Chain A
């Protein structure tokens, strides 16, 4: 676990590398979508710092109920890029057998739960998981991430209320990137998101999610509060969605970009500038890190594209533990001659 007060150079460098890998991967996925290799993508650009900070503070035993825009968190927690591409491609090696559209990951070995499209619907699940951990006296807390749009859902309300009533160890982290597709956060809610915690009788705070050090400093208190069994905590991390909502979205229709890729406000650039100033890295290091990341992503995607597809009949599996007669009959129907 990182402690901001004595964050080592190695830790900062490692975080920087993850950020570069995440950004490079993100851009690679978007360009692959444009080429028709990957079907869809929800870009992660801009949200790397808060995600890496969560990953640095989370323990192995913590359960994470992430949402569909958490690529850097996956990398920080050690999920191999090859498995990420397998999911994005829906190939025969995808752990989920090609059942979900891109970015709807589930990496159980890394204690990531499962991602759904309906926004916020994973939050009550996180509460149930926390209940289960407490009941079974297991180590670890539950961490749930979500966007600003999710704070308007009934699921958000239900989850924060339940976690608080049952005094469960859930850390809620809202990655407030300012936009829910085309809706600015000012139209999403009139209240400050972190202030909503008060309505549930739990502490809440806002952190600068575009700054690694502020994110770590802010999260540290929240993590230790939840870990000590005092109950749930709501953190609002302000960040910015640099890209579109998804590869099907054109933000030019509804906003003027406030932060652009590589500008001085870009969270990665901010970290880079800080590290340069501190003398922790130099320009050569930046260049080689980016080159390495690019090579890693290019090579891995090329390799994963050659993985065989999911067998067609597998679409009838895992509906139930054992299929009912309808799935059996329909599976046979797939291969019946005319």
Chain B
């Protein structure tokens, strides 16, 4: 296929460009900063270096160091500072270089950022976005590969989203920007440059809390999100599975009606995510289906996930849900 990256096209009166997730996020940040002076970026190596994944490339040159802030190496400092900025009139978009490094800031996220609206009776709010790349498949070993969404999805006051493509990356970032509450914006780093989609050049929203039906099918439902979405799509296409494929896009709050609707439609559910199985998002999805649609089930719910081990370096491919494991679960569900 011809690489259309950067080519601007007009579709139905709207200009679109074929871009990857990094390009989409970069342009979105650029447009938000151009539109709104309250938007400031902060994080490690996001200015001079443009971010280790280049998501903030060239924004320092354009907006200056007051708005694109290279911070000292302190994740809790970044999150705490962003929280104070958000409480006092700014719209900070912070970057934590790798989600694996977010844990020094965990207290700030769980005990300050997410609770300030509640604990002040709604008199302060914290309109902050924390962007952070997550997931494996880039030979990053233990500390550049983790998928920690469950830690955040377990915390009231947070909103957790993860796009699987460049279109949703822009739409979800714009929706996160419009919220007056903290959002954990998780970016599947394996997909940063792996998938391209046609994205309108303008700012648009993808509603938070709404899953996307990527494929309509009748035999089995596959519920997934983020880094495993392309793997699932490839598997069902290659094997001709008549699957209903749901990309959750938001992990807190989950789109309970879309989850229940697809479970009731096919009666067979496979959940695919890269994060470890135990107490992963899949466990919550299973519980929601058990509570609301158990009578419709024709087979047990199966989960295809990362293993309950630290993320390995050698053999990382064994950790990641792949076509073989997905198809094995699909076949089990179909033949039950």
Binding site for B on A (CB under 8 A): 63, 94-97, 99-100, 104, 106, 108, 113-114, 116-118, 121-133, 135-136, 154-155, 157-159, 161-162, 165-166, 317-321, 324-327
Q: When A and B form their complex, which 7 residue pairs have the shortest distance between CB atoms, in order from nearest?
A: A128-B84, A124-B80, A158-B77, A125-B84, A132-B88, A128-B81, A97-B121
Q: From B70, which residue of chain A is reached at the shortest CB distance?
A: A165
Smallest CB–CB gap between B251 and chain A, Å? Answer: 12
Across the interface, do B85 and A131 meet the contact criterion of CB distance under 8 Å? yes
Q: What residue in chain B is nearest A318 (Cβ atoms)?
A: B122
B120: which of A108, A135, A166, A321 is its contact (CB, 8 Å)?
A108
Contact of B76 among A108, A155, A318, A319 (CB under 8 A): A155
- Expressed in whole angstroms, the minimum distance between the Cβ of A99 and any Cβ of chain B is 5
What is the distance, in angstroms, from A167's C-beta to the closest C-beta of chain B? 12
Size class of the B contact interface (CB-based, 8 Å): 35 or more
Given contacts A108-B123, A155-B76, A158-B77, contact A318 B66 (CB under 8 A): no
- Cβ of B325 within 8 Å of any chain A Cβ, yes or no, is no
B159 at interface by CB-CB < 8 Å: yes
Contact, CB under 8 Å: B120 / A155: no
B84 CB contact (under 8 Å) in A126, A166, A324, A325: A126
Assess the A96–B119 pair: CB atoms within 8 A: yes
Contacts of A317 in B (CB 8 A): 122
**What separation, in Å, do the CA atoms of A157 and B76 have in the docked complex?**
10
Chain B min CB distance to A43 (Å): 22
**B81 with A321: CB separation less than 8 A:** no
Task: Report chain A residues within 8 Å CB of B87.
Answer: 113, 125, 128-129, 132
Binary flags per residue of B241-264, CB closer than 8 Å to A gives 1, else 0:
000000000001100100000000
Whether B81 pairs with A127 at a CB distance below 8 angstroms is yes
How many Å lie between the Cα of A197 and that of B119 in the bound state? 32
Residues of A within 8 A of B122 (CB): 97, 317-318
- Complex: how many Å from CA A106 to CA B123? 9
Find out whether the CB atom of A162 lies under 8 angstroms from the CB atom of B88.
Answer: no
Asked if B116 CB lies within 8 Å of chain A CBs, one says yes
Residues of A within 8 A of B74 (CB): 154, 157-158, 161-162
Known contacts A319-B156, A321-B181, A325-B253; is-contact A162 B119 (Cβ 8 Å): no
Known contacts A99-B119, A99-B121, A128-B87, then 18 further A-B pairs from the complex at CB < 8 Å, ordered by chain A residue: A94-B121, A100-B119, A113-B87, A124-B80, A127-B81, A128-B84, A129-B85, A130-B84, A131-B84, A132-B84, A155-B80, A159-B77, A161-B72, A162-B72, A162-B74, A165-B72, A318-B117, A319-B118
